[in-house]
Structure 1
Amino acid sequence: MTPQPPGKQDKDAGRWSDLDRPPLSGPALRRALVRPGSLWTSLDVVAATGSTNSDLAARAAKGEVTEGAVLVAEEQSAGRGRLDRRWSAPPRSGLFFSVYLTPRVPMARWGWLPLLTGVATAAALARSAGVDTLLKWPNDLLVTVDGEERKTGGILAERAGDGVVIGIGLNVSLRADELPVPTAGSLALAGAPGTDRDPLLRAVLRSLEDWYAKWQDAIGDPAASRLQETYAAGCATLGRTVRAELPGDAELLGEAVAIDGEGRLIVATEGGGRQPVAAGDIVHLRAAGGGYSGETG
């Protein structure tokens, strides 16, 4: 879907019935974020689309956008997570956006981008929303609702053109009766004092710009940029017994003990070995009762 001209999109977005969920203002966001010297070079807000990742990736493939392009949707009808899982939510109940980056670091280190985005988003939410946000390896954002960890956001990175499109989906004002699954959450349900999406989006994009600059200045080195240690400090997966569901229908059970220099999860198995997990679904196991908590992802 091609973004509407700024005037039309903002005029259309002004017609809403839920006063608790006002629309985002494209012009205001552009004035705040798109400026000389900033990472962000363009910012479009559309009323609805299938997937901001798909749209921005298509534009990148055609050479229609440069690094720092941001595409925000008030509603997604076909938002995607890892393994093509669907992500949907009521209009204006969350932040659904994608950014286009062309890292000037060795491509072997590009795999850190989803983890970097998680660190930047969690840090921004802690400051701007007043909600403690944890990271579930490799791409989920967790908050605590009624004493339980709930998934409130997800990150999806895809190669596109000469760079990477990174999509972020974040439940902001979603109410209990709107949850797609019982294990989902939102900032509102986690007790956020405010759910104004405008300052939240600005905070996330500024935090992402800051972390991206540190990472690039360190030539993508996760240790030198402190990305590796910061991710580990905020990762709810570490120290937990987990079940890793691996490609090819294989499974691995053990304790998640570290994040290595390639961004892989290191799982210590019963036999004393340590196995890196580069891709797969991770299930956090409960400390008691033998059941499972959280979603795979």
Structure 2
Amino acid sequence: MSTPSGRWSDLDRPPLRAAALRSALIRPSGRWTRLRVVEATGSTNADLAAAAGAGEAAPGEVLVAEEQTSGRGRLGRSWSAPARSGLFFSVLLDPEPEVPTERLPWLPLLAGVAVAGALARTAGVDTALKWPNDLLVTVDGVERKLGGILAERVPDGGVVLGIGLNVSLRAAELPVPGAGSLALAGAPNTDRDPLLRAVLRSLDTWYTGWVAAGGDPATGGDPSVGPVADAYAAGCATLGRPVRAELPGGGELRGTAVALDGDGRLVIEDRAGARHPVAAGDIVHLRAT
């Protein structure tokens, strides 16, 4: 009897167990109210945002794709990977009115903290944060991108938060040279079911504490760890490094990333000692000279 071939037949990449995930994560008074797993879609963020706009999704919904063919990152970049090789999912949250609009930029930073902590505990791999929304792992002594986070507002004031993580990608499957995966970083556990459960539980804990504090990053967070701002600064690989910020509109700023301000902006100190808060842009880590 021949073994079937194709993108769904990789025995090293079993499907997610949707029923078990729902049983573990959905509780009557819990954060997560509905969890769907689809075989493939273009973008979980786009699908969940459309469902929310049509009144077909409520806060607490989780949409997971075994394969995402047109995943979206920051600055219009695409995100794709082989089927069942990663975790590609979006959640619908409703931070307002408890969290003022000006504090919403902290949400993807909070998500980064939550994901990094969950992966350290469950996958056994240290993960660093690159401002504003990338997660990094070290592969053969080189810093590589493990995943990314994208937060998008929906018309009713909710936020769709998308997370993509490379779990079992092999070297030949990496989309770009700077990418990595948990497997390539030597993770002893790449079972996606416990990883997804851990990430969603961690996100729930951090988000609940942050919302209860009115979105204040200096006080809200995980009570067992500390505030979001402190945790992000402690895990951020960008702070203290020479960087190049490629700014919207084509400008560029070089200097040292010295801090995050109260609005979650990256503060870059140039050679003259002037400090510039950067709210958006593509950050490149440079070698120290």
Shorter-chain TM-score above 0.5: yes
CA RMSD of superposed structures (Å): 1.0
1:287, distance to aligned residue in structure 2 (A):
2.6
Query: Are 1:108 and 2:102 an aligned pair?
Result: yes
Following superposition of structure 1 onto structure 2, how do residues 202-221 of structure 1 map, counting pairs within 5 Å? Answer: 202-221=197-216
Query: Are 1:61 and 2:53 an aligned pair?
Result: yes
Contact 1:63/1:161 (<8 A) preserved: no
* Residue in 2 that maps onto 1:194: 189
* Residue in 2 that maps onto 1:247: 248
1:16, distance to aligned residue in structure 2 (A):
3.8
1:182-221 CA-partner distances (Å, limit 9, x unpaired)? 1100000000002100000000000000000110111100
Contact 1:239/1:255 (<8 A) preserved: yes
Identity over aligned pairs, percent? 73
* Residue in 2 that maps onto 1:257: 258
Query: Are 1:48 and 2:49 an aligned pair?
Result: no
* Residue in 2 that maps onto 1:175: 170
After superposing on structure 2, the runs of 4+ consecutive aligned residues of structure 1 that deviate more than 6 Å are none
Paired with 2:43 and 2:139, the residues of 1 have a C-alpha distance of 27
Partner residue of 1:184 out of 165, 179, 185 = 179
Following superposition of structure 1 onto structure 2, how do residues 18-57 of structure 1 map, counting pairs within 5 Å? Answer: 18-57=10-49
Paired with 2:75 and 2:255, the residues of 1 have a C-alpha distance of 23
Paired with 1:93 and 1:115, the residues of 2 have a C-alpha distance of 24
1:151-204 CA-partner distances (Å, limit 9, x unpaired)? 010001111132000100000000001011111000000000021000000000
Paired with 1:28 and 1:160, the residues of 2 have a C-alpha distance of 29
1:34, distance to aligned residue in structure 2 (A):
0.8
Paired with 1:153 and 1:281, the residues of 2 have a C-alpha distance of 15
* Residue in 2 that maps onto 1:140: 134
1:220 partner letter: G
Contact 1:62/1:161 (<8 A) preserved: no
Contact 2:116/2:135 (<8 A) preserved: yes
1:267 partner letter: I
Look up the SS of the partner of 1:47 in the other structure. strand
1:190 partner letter: A
Unaligned segments of structure 1, at least 5 residues:
1-14, 289-297
Q: TM-score, normalised by structure 1?
A: 0.91
Look up the SS of the partner of 2:32 in the other structure. coil
Aligned length: 274
